Amino acid sequence: MQMNCRNNYDHRHTTSLIMRAVEHLLGVNYAVLLAGVLTYRRAIRATSIGVRALVVRGEEVLLVRHRGGMLPWGLPGGALGGDETLVEAAQREVREEAGCAVRVERLHGVFHSSYQGYKNCIVLFVCSPLSELRPPTFDIEIAEARYVPLRAPGVGVDIGTRARIAEYLSGEPAPLDQGWGPPH
């Protein structure tokens, strides 16, 4: 009889050890899975939420020329990074792409864009410059930054930038549920 009790104890003890090991492994796996999900969310957030800045100086607007694309001129902007706010991201992007400090005056609108499988939410701010332009030299992304006339921005300007400038000049609020490109 004593042998039976001993085997029963060993079985319960072994089962308990296995259950604790399984619980531990599940906890480790969950932590790894959670870390992977959080990493994935951080990675796609950079491409899913972005900012642009409509920097107005009198009757001029700041445009940057990207090194590629059929219509390389556009408003400075890019992805939201790390723990920064939308306003901080807009200020950083203008500083990185044009070398200019800006004051964010107001929100112009929130737009959506879907391009090559990426869905983006673009938050556009109207800004005023606080310093002169000092565009980066030998930058891999930006070839040039300059002010152009608001009412005649020139050739090579992307469709979304043209639409946002037209909205700004109209004095009307940006339409709700608007894509970055022309009105639908």
* pTM > 0.85: yes or no: no
183 CB contacts (<8 Å, ≥6 apart)?
A: 163, 175
Phi, psi of 105 (to 5 degrees): -90, -45
Hey, which residues does 115 pair with through a beta bridge? 118
pLDDT in tens, 9-58: 676 777 777 856 644 443 344 345 435 534 554 455 445 789 999 999 99
Pairing relationship of beta strands 60-66 and 142-149 according to DSSP bridges: antiparallel
Residue 115 φ/ψ region, left for φ over 0, alpha for ψ in the -120 to 50 degree band, beta for the rest: beta
Distance CA 156, CA 165 (A): 14
Position 164 scores a pLDDT of: 96
* Neighbour-count burial of 171, counting CB atoms closer than 10 A to its CB (0-12 exposed, 13-18 middle, 19+ buried): exposed
Spell out, as residue ranges, where the chain has pLDDT lower than 50. Answer: 22-31, 33-34, 37-38, 41-42, 45-46, 184
Degrees, nearest 5: CA angle 124-125-131: 130
What pLDDT score does 46 carry?
44
Domains along the chain with CATH numbers: 47-179 (3.90.79.10)
Residues 6+ apart with CB under 8 A from 65: 72, 73, 142, 143, 144, 145, 156
